[in-house]
Structure 1
Amino acid sequence: MVTIAIIGRPNVGKSTLFNRLVGKKLALVDDRPGVTRDRRVGEASLLDLEFEIVDTAGLEEAVDDTLEGRMRAQTERAIDMADLSLFMVDAKSGITPQDQAFGELLRKRGRPVLLVANKSEAKGSDSGFYDSYSLGLGEPVPISAEHGEGMGDLRDAIVGALGEAAFEEEPEAEDEADTALVSIAETDIEFDDDEPIEAYDATKPMRIAIVGRPNAGKSTMINRFLGEDRLLTGPEAGITRDSISVEWEWRGRRVKMFDTAGMRRRAKVQEKLEKLSVADALRAIRFAEVVVVVFDATIPFERQDLSIADLIMREGRAPVIAFNKWDLVEDRQAVLADLREKTERLLPQARGIQAVTVSGETGEGLDRLMQAIMATHETWNKRVSTAKLNKWLERVVAHHPPPAVAGRRVNIKYITQVKSRPPTFMISTTRPEALGTSYTRYLVNGLRETFGLAGVPIRLGLRKPDNPFAGRAKKYT
Structure 2
Amino acid sequence: DRLLAQMREQSQLAMEEADIILFLMDGREGLNPADEEVAHMLRQVDKPVLFVVNKVDGPAQEATLGEFYALGVGEIHSIAAEHRIGTSGLVDEILGLLPDQELDDADVTETRMAIIGRPNVGKSSLVNRMLGFERVVANPTAGTTRDSVDTPFNYNQRRYVLIDTAGIRRKGRVSQKLEKYSVIQALRAMDRAHIALVVIDAEEGITDQDLTIAGYAHERGRAVILVVNKWDLVKKNNATMGDYIKDVRGAFRFLPDSPIHFVSALSGQRISKIMADVEMVSDEFNRKVPTSQLNRVLKDAEHNHQPPLYRGKRLKLFYITQTAVRPPTFVIFVNKADGVHFSYERYLMNCLRQAFGFTACPIRLKFSDREH
TM-score, normalised relative to structure 1? 0.51
Is the Cα–Cα contact under 8 Å of residues 426 and 461 in structure 1 kept in the other structure?
A: yes
Which of the numbers 289, 292, 300 marks the counterpart of 2:194?
A: 289
Amino acid corresponding to residue 320 of structure 1 in structure 2:
I
Return the alpha-carbon distance in structure 2 between the equivalents of residues 182 and 423 of structure 1: 15
Paired residue secondary structure (2:314): coil
Percentage identity across aligned positions? 37
Paired residue secondary structure (1:444): helix
Task: Give yes or no for the alignment of 1:398 onto 2:303.
Answer: yes
Structure 1 segments unaligned to the other structure (5+ residues) = 1-178, 184-200, 263-267, 468-477
CA distance 1:258–1:458, shift in 2 (3 Å): same
Which of the numbers 198, 203, 211 marks the counterpart of 1:298?
A: 203
Is the Cα–Cα contact under 8 Å of residues 242 and 277 in structure 1 kept in the other structure?
A: no
Amino acid corresponding to residue 238 of structure 1 in structure 2:
G
CA distance 1:269–1:400, shift in 2 (3 Å): farther
Which of the numbers 165, 169, 184 marks the counterpart of 1:279?
A: 184
Which of the numbers 275, 278, 282 marks the counterpart of 1:370?
A: 275
Aligned to 1:215: 120
Return the alpha-carbon distance in structure 2 between the equivalents of residues 300 and 450 of structure 1: 35
Post-superposition CA distance 1:254-296 (Å, at most 9, x none):
332111149xxxxx9764x776664333121110121100111
Paired residue secondary structure (1:321): strand
Amino acid corresponding to residue 253 of structure 1 in structure 2:
R
Which of the numbers 353, 361, 370 marks the counterpart of 2:258?
A: 353
Deviation at 1:351?
A: 3.0
Aligned to 2:97: none
Task: Give yes or no for the alignment of 1:240 onto 2:240.
Answer: no
CA distance 1:209–1:333, shift in 2 (3 Å): farther
Amino acid corresponding to residue 356 of structure 1 in structure 2:
H
Aligned to 1:250: 155
Paired residue secondary structure (2:370): coil
Which of the numbers 172, 177, 181 marks the counterpart of 2:105?
A: 181
Query: How do residues 312-351 of structure 1 correspond to structure 2 at under 5 angstroms?
Result: 312-331=217-236, 333-351=238-256
Deviation at 1:449?
A: 2.1
Query: How do residues 72-471 of structure 1 correspond to structure 2 at under 5 angstroms?
Result: 181-182=105-106, 204-261=109-166, 271=177, 278-331=183-236, 333-465=238-370
CA distance 1:421–1:401, shift in 2 (3 Å): same
Return the alpha-carbon distance in structure 1 between the equivalents of residues 295 and 253 of structure 2: 26
Aligned to 2:65: none
Return the alpha-carbon distance in structure 1 between the equivalents of residues 208 and 336 of structure 2: 38
Deviation at 1:346?
A: 3.4
Return the alpha-carbon distance in structure 1 between the equivalents of residues 351 and 251 of structure 2: 20
Amino acid corresponding to residue 257 of structure 1 in structure 2:
L
Post-superposition CA distance 1:323-382 (Å, at most 9, x none):
111111232642221233234433343332121111100111111001111111111111
Deviation at 1:236?
A: 1.3
CA distance 1:234–1:310, shift in 2 (3 Å): same
- Structure number with greater Rg is 1
Paired residue secondary structure (1:401): coil
Post-superposition CA distance 1:103-127 (Å, at most 9, x none):
xxxxxxxxxxxxxxxxxxxxxxxxx
Structure 2 segments unaligned to the other structure (5+ residues) = 1-102, 168-173
Amino acid corresponding to residue 286 of structure 2 in structure 1:
N
Deviation at 1:211?
A: 0.2
Return the alpha-carbon distance in structure 2 between the equivalents of residues 253 and 314 of structure 1: 27
Return the alpha-carbon distance in structure 1 between the equivalents of residues 250 and 304 of structure 2: 27
Deviation at 1:452?
A: 0.8
CA distance 1:212–1:249, shift in 2 (3 Å): same
Return the alpha-carbon distance in structure 1 between the equivalents of residues 298 and 249 of structure 2: 26
Return the alpha-carbon distance in structure 1 between the equivalents of residues 359 and 196 of structure 2: 15
Return the alpha-carbon distance in structure 1 between the equivalents of residues 353 and 249 of structure 2: 15
Is the Cα–Cα contact under 8 Å of residues 118 and 179 in structure 2 kept in the other structure?
A: no
Deviation at 1:454?
A: 1.2
Deviation at 1:301?
A: 2.7
Cα root mean square deviation, aligned: 2.7
Amino acid corresponding to residue 426 of structure 1 in structure 2:
V
Paired residue secondary structure (1:379): helix
Deviation at 1:250?
A: 2.7
Paired residue secondary structure (2:239): helix
Query: How do residues 46-57 of structure 1 correspond to structure 2 at under 5 angstroms?
Result: none
Paired residue secondary structure (1:396): helix
CA distance 1:341–1:182, shift in 2 (3 Å): farther
Deviation at 1:180?
A: 9.0
Deviation at 1:181?
A: 2.1
Is the Cα–Cα contact under 8 Å of residues 211 and 291 in structure 1 kept in the other structure?
A: yes
CA distance 1:339–1:388, shift in 2 (3 Å): farther
